[in-house]
Amino acid sequence: MKAFMVEKYGDAAGMRVTAVVRDRDRTPYRSDVLLREFTEAEWDRLLEVVADRSGHIAALLDRDMPPQLAEDAAAVGVELLPGIGDLEPECGCEAWDHCPHTAALCYQLGRLLDEDPYLLLLMRGRGERELLDELQVRSAARAAPHLPQAAEDASPPAPEGVPAREAFAAPGPPPLPAPPPAVAAPGRPPALAGGTDPAEGLDVAALEFLAADAAVRAQRLLAEALSPGHASSPIPAALTVWQDTVRLTAAGPPAPIAARLAAGCGRDRADLARAVRAWEHGGAAALSVLEEEWVPDAAALARARVQLAAAWEEDEQAPELRAVGNRWTVVGADLQVRYGRDGRWWPYRKERGRWWPAGPAGHDPAAALAMPGAGG
């Protein structure tokens, strides 16, 4: 059987289902069955039945035909399902009644009706979208009496905002206030020690240290905010837990607090000491140079070699350097310079078998190697 089609037939109130059915000898026959459409009165009664029961609506939305719907429709005089004699046959084999071809078409039609209930409703005269729209209107009409009614004398709410004419006519925003004055020194945090014992687990000395550190940072941040060009400077990245541990340790906390920081950082004391020295020479950037080894790309490597070639005068004896990644080590000496991602050079000196930061960064590798901390 080839795919069938559903169409309205003639001027009569009915729908035609058509398919090409092949006989046993493969001879094709056009077969049709005709089904009467519901009248407007029948549709009105059927839709009232569906709208009265939320279960019927939910089932149809789920593309299911509720079994009780046919019984409820029959109770108001609407025979939803086709009965005997409702399907009028026509076939190219010229049989006067149902033949094997129209019987096969009816069988196939029944199978499809089980899969899609809207096909039956379409054959009765209403498509899916039309049916659901009508049900929505009837459901809303039923719900309206149960909704809270606004007072008859209530005035409509005033529109939000102001008319555009008033907005454009208004003066501009007031000028910004003057920036706050610079603070010469950090404020002194309050002393927390008193006559009352602290709560269990509260380290008063550590809390006082953190308050003093916050005052120092606030003073520094204000000074940076008041400096020229601050508005266009990039926002620094937030510190990691390890970076903040190094920063706090570099601030010189009391010995018990320093011991707590060392115990909780997950590194050995030598690592923390080297990290603190790096932080003292250049903050987070210096700490990154200490811990990160990277290979400069061709452009960065070319810039580094140009700086190294120009670092010593013609009459000076340039040291022999061995390069590994971004690190140039003086052959035969415990000295090293590291090339940072920002193009600066950082001096290092070997102490107790490990490389330690020896000073702040500079753009001249020779000057970096000549620093007192690097030169011994």
Q: Each residue of 219-268: pLDDT tens digit?
A: 999 998 898 888 888 888 899 999 999 999 999 999 999 999 999 999 99
Q: What is the pLDDT of residue 327?
A: 95
Q: What is the pLDDT of residue 230?
A: 84
* 335, β-bridge pairs: 349
Specify the 3-state DSSP secondary structure of 271.
Answer: helix
Q: What is the pLDDT of residue 80?
A: 82
C-alpha count within 13 angstroms, C-beta hemisphere, residue 299: 3
pLDDT above 60 for 151: no
Specify the 3-state DSSP secondary structure of 294.
Answer: coil
> Interhelix angle for 241-250 vs 255-264, to 10°?
160
CA distance 321 to 332: 9
Count, residues in the chain: 376
Q: What is the pLDDT of residue 11?
A: 45
Work out the percent of the chain whose per-residue pLDDT is above 90: 33
Q: Which of 4-18, 114-128, 235-249 has the lowest mean pLDDT?
A: 4-18
Residue 74: which residues within 8 A CB-CB, separation 6 or more?
80
Each residue of 100-119: pLDDT tens digit? 998 888 888 888 887 787 78
Give the residue-averaged pLDDT of 19-26.
Answer: 89
In degrees and rounded to multiples of 5, residue 295 shows phi and psi of -105, 115
CA distance 326 to 318: 19
Please give the DSSP secondary-structure letter assigned to residue 62. T
CA distance 134 to 73: 17
Residue 290: which residues within 8 A CB-CB, separation 6 or more?
274, 275, 278, 357
Residue type, 85: G
Q: What is the pLDDT of residue 304?
A: 92
pLDDT above 60 for 59: yes
| Average pLDDT of the residues of the chain | 84
In degrees and rounded to multiples of 5, residue 112 shows phi and psi of -70, -35
Greater confidence, 15 or 357? 357
Contact 89, 33 (CB under 8 A): yes
Give the residue-averaged pLDDT of 158-172.
Answer: 77
How far from the centroid of its chain's Cα atoms is residue 166's Cα? Answer: 39
Work out the percent of the chain whose per-residue pLDDT is above 70: 90
pLDDT above 60 for 328: yes
Q: What is the pLDDT of residue 347?
A: 95
- Maximum mean pLDDT: which of 52-66, 130-144, 176-190, 317-331: 317-331
C-alpha count within 13 angstroms, C-beta hemisphere, residue 76: 17
Greater confidence, 164 or 22? 22
Taking Cα atoms as reference points, which of 79, 93, 90 lies closest to residue 46?
79
pLDDT above 60 for 350: yes
Q: What is the pLDDT of residue 277?
A: 96
Greater confidence, 21 or 161? 21
Q: Which of 52-56, 90-94, 96-100 has the lowest mean pLDDT?
A: 52-56
Tokens coding 345 = 């050079």
pLDDT above 80 for 21: yes
pLDDT above 60 for 131: yes
Model confidence at 293, pLDDT cuts 50, 70, 90, reads very high
* DSSP string for residues in 138-179: HHHHHHGGGSPPPPTTPPPPPPSS--HHHHHHS--PPPPPPP
* 356, β-bridge pairs: 349
Residue position matching structure tokens 């008859």: 152
pLDDT above 60 for 185: yes
